[in-house]
Amino acid sequence: MLVSTKWLEEYVNTQGLPPAELGEKITRAGIEVDAVIDRSEGLANLVVGYVTECVKHPEADKLSICQVGVGGGEIDQIICGAPNIAQGQSVIVARPGAKLPGGMKIKKAKLRGEVSNGMICSLQELGIETKLVPKSYAEGIYVLPEKAEPGTDVLSYLDLDDTVLELGLTPNRADAMSMLGVAYEVGAILEEDVSLPEIVYAEAAERAESMLSLEVDAPEANPLYVAKVVRNVKVKESPLWLQQRLMAAGVRPHNNVVDVTNYILMEYGQPLHAFDYDSLGSGNITVRHAKEGEKITTLDDTERTLSAHQLVITNGTDPVALAGVMGGANSEVSEDTTTVVIESAYFASDSIRRTSKDHNLRSDASSRYEKGVDPNRVIPAAERAAQLLAELADGEVLGGSLVFDQLDKKERIVKVSPDFINSRLGMKIRLEDMLDILSRLKFNTEAANNQLIIEVPTRRQDIQIEEDVVEEIARLYGYDEIPATLPRTDATPGGLSPYQAKRRIARHFLEGAGLLQATTYSLTSEAAATQFALEPTETTRLLMPMSEERSILRQSLLPHLLESLSYNTARRTDSVALYETGSVFLKGQDELLDEQEHLAIVMTGLWVDHSWQGEKKVVDFFVAKGIVEGLAAKLGLELSFERGEMDGLHPGRTAFILLDGKRIGVIGALHPSEQKKRDLKETIAVELNLATLLTRETEALVYIQVSRYPTISRDVALVLSNIVEAQTIEGVIRNAGGKLLKDVRVFDLYEGDRMEEGKKSLAFSLTYFDPEKTLTDDEVNAAHEKIIKALTESGAELR
């Protein structure tokens, strides 16, 4: 909502406050002023000019040489390029020394050999948006509607010495979508009264009923309809003040009839519509629901097919307007119109909302109906229209109105106790201060038995319950006056749940291990949605995605995380290691999705880069595996790994991660073709069902006494077929090891030239230990022999 402060002054005394200060007061009281716009910004030394002579420039077709009276009997020659310039016009002149928006300064100039003492201006040159300039002046200079005294200052003559407040209205404050509504708000803030427009006009002896009949067949959607008939109107340009007020409010002037309806829309917040009486052709207006498939061409020249729930205004047979949304082209007021029917009505908001949504058509009228108009302004708005048409279009208003009225226009009563207000706020506002605020709001209030009985004006549809009154009192008393206290609830322990605490532990571990936390989008493409998914299900698609790229909910974190890797390597960060925790979305039994919190890790480039001391290590499977094992250890869990395959991963370098024999994740090197596609070098990826890890209860930590007895180590080097896995051999060792075997560790792997084809050498270091005593060589030897025997039997060769 754009509020001209000059216009606002007509209804409420703003106490001479500078507009910025007024704006600040309005903001602090609850309606945010988004901008304070000085309409005269950048303008200086503009005067009214009168074109006494206008001839074609001999050297240029498109230019005219004008003699322009600029006041004090002075006549200046000005060259003008506008197509609509003509003798006898009153125009806006920027004389040498004048300033226009954008820092433009006007100087005396020569155009094709002819002197030009300034410039004749269009409205756009004064900083007014083209979409607000009347169509007839959109391509040329602006011609003042009435003859004005040459030399008059243009800023005040055009009401450009004005500041507009741009209000950012929340949906509840529909009352402030009108100048009167804003006046009531400002009046309440500044403790000033509001003066309503005085409506006086002469009625013709003939009654409206003699020319028009009215029927409403849809009283629920249209409980109030008022029609007035104005005869002998002269459709023409509106006077300057009206055009300027509309432009200040962001509305384009058209002609006096349309402008009057728009003016009252802005003034009262009540949408009006004007029909050309003769085009109706029937002398009848009938409001009814549309017939299924019925058609209407609206004012925007679009043919629209109607449905049965949509409300239309008809001439008794055919639709002439889409009620409350837009008029029909067939009954539009034109220059030839002589008799006008003014419609002022109350349409139910849900009906309008639905129709407006169906046709994807929102207008100033529909947006006000959607939020609800004031039932008590429907009739006054019609009267105000009659008055202005009589004044500005020389119209003759027929006596009375055609009225269909089943609307409840009573004020709502809200009862609230002062104690309730104070206890909600944590304040001690006195009763007289509350009553004062309510009277500033023009809410009639009675105080009785520790109860405020408030009659809420119908313009404030948002005040319905006690809490709404609490807010009204508080915002005008001042939110600054509210003290700062803390809740007096019993002390609660609060804290993280074990799951949340473990998630933090996991995160800190991963960061300590050298991974950067990343965050990627949950929405992805169909192709990426299930890639790398541990348990792919049917995908979930949005009804109305913004793009195909973001249309499906992801089932794996890896595709986007890998994209982040590529993003970085493309920007010459070659070594990157990222992790992310976040939800994947699987189809479940429930209507909601099965959301599982996953953890993914990706790494590429160097893991260790300390080259001046000769240390350099490229990321590999085992770097990632070490991190996963470390994480499990931190969470008190034991994982196992099982060779596996997954699309997009290297078939020889992929393992599933198991917890208690159940697959909960995957770890692998990216498949070379996948790497190529993503423009990555050697890349390792991990994805784990983090929720499974974190929901697992951890066993209590039991301290084991540090032993006084030493451990004894023995090494064993084996020659094996190179398809035998280390974990198999470790299993053999542990099985045969007995209770003295404490630890088994791989310490060497050799697969080089010195080995027979298909063989590898694997060396283990075994640790023996007895917590009760120092082991003897014999005891260790016996245990070790058993292991060697088992190994040999399993096919391993001692080296």
Partner 1 sequence: MEARLQELKNEALEKIQAAQTVKELTDVRVAYLGKKGPITDVLKGMGKLPAEERPKMGALVNEVRAEVTESLEARMVLLEEQAINEKLQSETIDISLPGRPAKTGNPHPLTRVVEEIEDLFLSMGYEIAEGPEVEKDYYNFEALNLPKGHPARDMQDSFYITEDILLRTHTSPVQARTMETKGGEPIKIICPGKVYRRDNDDATHSHQFTQIEGLVVGEDIRMSDLKGTLSIFAKKMFGDDREIRLRPSFFPFTEPSVEMDISCFKCGGSGCNVCKKTGWIEILGAGMVHPNVLEMAGYDSKRLTGFAFGMGPERIAMLKYGIEDIRHFYTNDVRFLTQFQRTEL
- Residue nearer to partner 1 on the CB measure, 173 or 671: 173
Q: Does 59 bind partner 1 (CB under 8 A)?
A: no
Q: Interface residues for partner 1 in 594-613 (CB under 8 A)?
A: 595, 609-610, 612-613
- Residue nearer to partner 1 on the CB measure, 589 or 613: 613
Q: Which helix (H) or strand (E) holds 713?
A: strand 712-721
Q: Which helix (H) or strand (E) holds 733?
A: helix 726-737
Residue of the chain from 170, 195, 439, 450 that contacts partner 1 (CB under 8 A): 170
Residue of the chain from 213, 307, 522, 525 that contacts partner 1 (CB under 8 A): 522
Tokens found for residue 359 = 């046709």
In angstroms, how far is CA 167 from the centroid of its own chain?
A: 17
- Residue nearer to partner 1 on the CB measure, 18 or 512: 512
- Residue nearer to partner 1 on the CB measure, 234 or 507: 507
Residue of the chain from 75, 211, 361, 470 that contacts partner 1 (CB under 8 A): 470
Tokens found for residue 681 = 């070098």
Q: Does 585 bind partner 1 (CB under 8 A)?
A: yes
Give the single-character DSSP code of 35: E
Residue of the chain from 484, 700, 702, 704 that contacts partner 1 (CB under 8 A): 484
Closest approach of partner 1 to the CB of residue 576, in Å: 6
Q: Does 104 bind partner 1 (CB under 8 A)?
A: no
Stretch that binds partner 1, among 377-385, 417-425, 452-460, 661-669 (CB under 8 A): 417-425
> Which residue reads 């008055």 in tokens?
387
Q: Does 37 bind partner 1 (CB under 8 A)?
A: no
Give the Cα separation of 669 and 686 in Å (integer): 9
Q: Does 467 bind partner 1 (CB under 8 A)?
A: yes
Closest approach of partner 1 to the CB of residue 489, in Å: 4
- Residue nearer to partner 1 on the CB measure, 86 or 470: 470
71 three-class SS: strand
- Residue nearer to partner 1 on the CB measure, 592 or 706: 592
Q: Does 67 bind partner 1 (CB under 8 A)?
A: no
Strand order in the sheet with 319-322: 213-216, 284-289, 311-314, 319-322, 326-327
Q: Does 514 bind partner 1 (CB under 8 A)?
A: yes
Give the Cα separation of 361 and 644 in Å (integer): 57
The closest of 740, 741, 719 to 729, measured between CA atoms, is 719
Closest approach of partner 1 to the CB of residue 647, in Å: 24
Please, which residues bridge with residue 78 across strands?
66
Total of chain residues touching partner 1, rule CB under 8 A: 90
Stretch that binds partner 1, among 111-119, 192-200, 379-387, 579-587 (CB under 8 A): 579-587
- Residue nearer to partner 1 on the CB measure, 32 or 203: 32
* Rounded alpha-carbon distances, angstroms, from residue 470 to 380, 438, 568: 31, 11, 54
- Residue nearer to partner 1 on the CB measure, 64 or 568: 568
Stretch that binds partner 1, among 152-160, 258-266, 493-501, 787-795 (CB under 8 A): 493-501
Q: Interface residues for partner 1 in 355-384 (CB under 8 A)?
A: 370-371
- Residue nearer to partner 1 on the CB measure, 292 or 615: 615
Residue of the chain from 582, 648, 665, 668 that contacts partner 1 (CB under 8 A): 582
Tokens found for residue 602 = 């990706």
Give the Cα separation of 184 and 178 in Å (integer): 10
Dihedral sign (CA 157, 158, 163, 168): positive
Q: Does 20 bind partner 1 (CB under 8 A)?
A: no
Please, which residues bridge with residue 688 across strands?
599, 665
Stretch that binds partner 1, among 397-405, 568-576, 703-711, 725-733 (CB under 8 A): 568-576
249 three-class SS: coil
The closest of 727, 731, 793, 799 to 763, measured between CA atoms, is 799
Dihedral sign (CA 770, 775, 781, 782): negative
The closest of 161, 147, 155, 163 to 45, measured between CA atoms, is 155
Q: Does 583 bind partner 1 (CB under 8 A)?
A: yes
Q: Does 25 bind partner 1 (CB under 8 A)?
A: no
Q: Does 785 bind partner 1 (CB under 8 A)?
A: no
- Residue nearer to partner 1 on the CB measure, 314 or 520: 520
Tokens found for residue 561 = 């995380």
The closest of 766, 773, 762, 769 to 796, measured between CA atoms, is 762
Q: Does 564 bind partner 1 (CB under 8 A)?
A: yes
Q: Interface residues for partner 1 in 610-639 (CB under 8 A)?
A: 610, 612-613, 615
Residue ranges in 274-430 assigned as alpha helix (H)? 277-280, 349-358, 364-371, 378-392, 418-425
* Rounded alpha-carbon distances, angstroms, from residue 342 to 402, 404, 566: 10, 14, 65
The closest of 146, 145, 88, 85 to 116, measured between CA atoms, is 85
Give the Cα separation of 369 and 377 in Å (integer): 13
**Contact flags string 240-279 toward partner 1, x per CB under 8 A:** ----------------------------------------
Residue of the chain from 15, 573, 673, 735 that contacts partner 1 (CB under 8 A): 573
In one letter, which amino acid is 517?
Q
Q: Interface residues for partner 1 in 181-240 (CB under 8 A)?
A: none
Q: Does 490 bind partner 1 (CB under 8 A)?
A: yes
Q: Interface residues for partner 1 in 544-563 (CB under 8 A)?
A: 544-546, 550, 553
- Residue nearer to partner 1 on the CB measure, 296 or 352: 352
